[in-house]
Every structure is written in C-alpha cells, then in structure tokens.
C-alpha cells in the first residue's frame, strides 16, 4: 500500500460498542505497522477519546440521520476525503454509510466499504437501494448470520460476490489465565453486555426464579450498564432476588470476572457476532445461548456449550446442570474453538490481506 493512500474509518457513534471497538482495534493495528489511517469521529465521543489516547489521527465530523440530503455536508465530507488522500473508507452506521458513500463516490475514493456487524435486516428502502447498488463497492460482515440478514428483505439489493465475511478477533488470554476451576457453590453464572432490550437480561431474572425454585445454590452476576438498569433492578426487588442476582455495572477490565465464573449465559435475542460469548469461551468458560443468529457459529451444542430454543428458561437451567457434570471437557473445547478460529492475530492478518490484496 502506498503511503499517500489513506484508509478512513468513519464512525460517528457517541457511545461505545462492538462496532467502535472494531474500528479502534483495526485502526490501531494498521497504524502500528505503518499504514496511513484516519478516524472520522464525533466530537467528544468515546471512540474519539480512545483514539486520542492511542495517538491515532482523527478528524471530528458532525453527522446526523439525514445529513446525506444536505449538499453542504456532503461537499464538506468530500473535501475531507480529498484533503486526507482517502483511498478506502470503512463505515458501520447506516447514517454514516449514506453520507459517507455519497461523498466518497464523487470524491475519488476507490473502495467504499460498508461493514455490517449487526444481524438486523437491511431495510429495503429506496435510499438503501440507491446507496448499495450505486455507491458502496463492498460489504464486510462479521458472521454468516449477518450476511443472511443483508439480503433478507431484498435478494438483489447488493452484489453477493462483493460480500466478505471476517469475524471479530479475540485477544486470547495466556494459558495461566485460563479458567479451569471445578464447579463450586454458589454456582457463579455470568453475563456481559449493555443493559438493553437486544441483550434481554430479563431472561436472567427468569432463570434466577427457575433455579431458586429448584433449590440451586447460585449467583447470577451481570456486567454492563444501560437504559434497562432501572427495569432490571425493579425485577430483582419484586422477586426477592437481591442475594441471587447482582448488577455489577460497567467494568473496564473483566479478566477476573471471567476467571471467577462457572458458566456464561448469553440471553441476547440477536447477535451479529457474540463478542462477549467468544471472549468468555477464550477463558475456558463454557456457555449457554439461544439457538439464534450467529450463536451456532460459536457454540457447537454438547461440545463447547449448549444452544437452547429462544426464551426457553427451563432448557437453560438443564443445560447448566449438564455442563457442570463435565465442565472440564466443555472448558477445553470452548477455549480451543476460539483459539483456532478467532484469535486476533489471525483475524488481523485476514483484514490486512483483504485490504492489501485488492490494492495491488
């Protein structure tokens, strides 16, 4: 790649999530090995703050849902591309894609990549049809489940030959940090994620009710914060589960949390790629999740964890009991799966190849 050709990561989400982590991780890696990169970010966003800590080049941009219909904003973004010698732009957010692709198409940007990290169907709107058929050159997806949702509403919305799947990379912990503990009491059940309807942690309250009714000795610990905090707190109190269910809030470093768990339970109702699921498995924590979206790409039922029907709380409880009877086997298989298929070093190499091969 020539030094005067820049890869632009356009992401104006103000909060922190999987897409923002992906952009920061990839940009940091490419920058560290000499690639020319720049992040276009919202002012004072979490991504902007973390990029500055990493001493990555950034440009602050203000983009809203309907910015693509504002010719002045489109022109300004086009000028930024040209000033920064942008050859490739990678976008996550739908609103970023619309204006970002429109400005790029007319701004001499060669590769216009829409990265899809959520297993949510693309709306078959006229604007999406125009952008995807006439402006976006490629789609980069994080799982096969995500690919399927791209075409769910319109099989012809994009050229399927221009879709590439590269999953998220996971930092594989050292062997001495692996969680291979024998099941103990109280049984420690964990969950990590934003307290938000997609993550559906209310199912964990139902699980606690089920386990308590069957005289299990357990504690469910939930790491994360979000708009559903009050709702979950109320459910915990209403069901007298203060001793059994703990809301731990956001944790920057959760290594010790993973090392303390007996089993990880993911209650999300959809996942483009279950990053925290893979992260828990990398520590050797067996997992239970609903048999939906990308979860079957990570969990092989009965081998490294269990998959259960969506909303089936009784099946989660039975799966936990089954796993605890042979936890060591499940633990080893969970670690091996992530190490073999999702190690960050291997994924970064795939990203490099994806970007370099089409430049040469």
Q: What is the pLDDT along the chain (360 residues), one digit of tens a residue?
A: 444 689 999 999 998 888 899 999 999 999 999 999 999 999 999 999 999 999 999 999 999 999 999 999 999 999 999 999 999 999 999 999 999 999 997 778 999 999 999 888 999 999 999 999 999 999 999 999 999 999 999 999 999 999 999 999 999 999 999 898 888 899 999 999 989 999 999 999 999 999 999 999 999 999 999 999 999 999 999 999 999 999 999 888 899 999 999 999 999 999 989 999 999 999 999 999 999 999 999 999 999 999 999 999 999 999 999 999 999 999 999 999 999 999 999 999 999 999 986 544
Q: How far is CA 286 from CA 46, 89, 188, in A?
A: 31, 38, 12
Q: What is the pLDDT of residue 133?
A: 93
Q: What is the pLDDT of residue 4?
A: 60
Q: How far is CA 209 from CA 16, 63, 243, 290, in A?
A: 32, 44, 12, 18
Give the pair of three-digit tokens for residue 6.
């820049």
Give the pair of three-digit tokens for residue 118.
């959520």
The CATH number, out of the four listed (3.40.50.2000, 1.10.10.10, 3.40.50.2300, 3.30.70.260), of the domain defined by the range 175-341 = 3.40.50.2000
Residue 224 carries which DSSP code?
B
Q: What is the pLDDT of residue 80?
A: 96
Give the pair of three-digit tokens for residue 269.
């109702």
Give the pair of three-digit tokens for residue 88.
């490739």
Instruction: Give the CATH superfamily of 6-169+343-357.
Output: Glycogen Phosphorylase B; (3.40.50.2000)
Q: Return the closest-CA partner of residue 292 out of 280, 277, 279, 304.
A: 277
Residues of the chain with CATH 3.40.50.2000: 6-169+343-357, 175-341
Residue 168 carries which DSSP code?
P
Q: What is the pLDDT of residue 256?
A: 94
Q: Return the closest-CA partner of residue 36 out of 12, 71, 1.
A: 1
Give the pair of three-digit tokens for residue 132.
């995807």
DSSP bridge partners of 113: 90, 138
- Residue pair 204/265 in contact (Cβ under 8 Å)? The answer is yes
Give the pair of three-digit tokens for residue 65.
């849902």
**Torsion region of 151: left, alpha or beta (phi above 0 gives left; psi -120 to 50 gives alpha):** alpha
Our separate counts of H helices and E strands in the chain read 14, 13
Whether pTM > 0.75 for this model: the answer is: yes
- Residue pair 245/270 in contact (Cβ under 8 Å)? The answer is no
């Amino acid at each position: 790649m020539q030094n005067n050709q820049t890869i632009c990561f356009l992401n104006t989400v103000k909060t922190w999530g999987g897409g923002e982590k992906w952009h920061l991780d990839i940009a940091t890696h490419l920058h560290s090995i000499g690639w020319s990169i720049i992040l276009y970010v919202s002012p004072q966003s979490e991504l902007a703050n973390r990029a500055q800590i990493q001493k990555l080049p950034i440009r602050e941009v203000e983009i809203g849902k309907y910015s693509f219909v504002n010719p002045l904003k489109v022109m300004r973004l086009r000028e930024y591309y040209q000033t920064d010698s942008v050859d490739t732009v990678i976008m996550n957010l739908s609103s970023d894609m619309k204006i970002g692709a429109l400005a790029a198409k007319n701004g001499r940007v060669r590769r216009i990549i829409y990265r899809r990290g959520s297993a949510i169907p693309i709306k078959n709107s006229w604007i999406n049809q125009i952008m995807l058929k006439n402006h976006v050159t490629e789609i980069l997806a994080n799982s096969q489940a995500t690919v399927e949702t791209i075409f769910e509403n319109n099989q012809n919305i994009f050229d399927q030959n221009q879709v590439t799947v590269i999953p998220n990379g996971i930092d594989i912990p050292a062997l001495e940090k692996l969680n291979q503990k024998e099941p103990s009491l109280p049984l420690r059940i964990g969950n990590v994620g934003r307290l938000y309807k997609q993550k559906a942690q209310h199912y964990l309250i139902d699980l606690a009710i089920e386990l308590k009714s069957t005289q299990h000795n357990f504690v469910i610990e939930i790491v994360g914060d979000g708009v559903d905090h009050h709702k979950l707190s109320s459910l915990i109190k209403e069901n007298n589960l203060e001793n059994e269910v703990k809301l731990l809030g956001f944790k920057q470093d959760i290594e010790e949390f993973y090392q303390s768990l007996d089993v990880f339970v993911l209650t999300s109702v959809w996942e483009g790629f279950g990053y925290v699921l893979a992260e828990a498995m990398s520590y050797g924590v067996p997992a239970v999740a609903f048999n939906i979206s990308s979860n079957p790409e990570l969990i092989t039922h009965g081998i490294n964890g269990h998959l259960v029907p969506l909303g089936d709380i009784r099946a989660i409880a039975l799966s936990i009991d089954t796993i605890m009877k042979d936890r060591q086997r499940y633990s080893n298989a969970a670690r091996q799966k992530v190490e073999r298929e999702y190690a960050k070093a291997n994924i970064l190499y795939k990203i490099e190849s994806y970007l370099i091969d089409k430049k040469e």
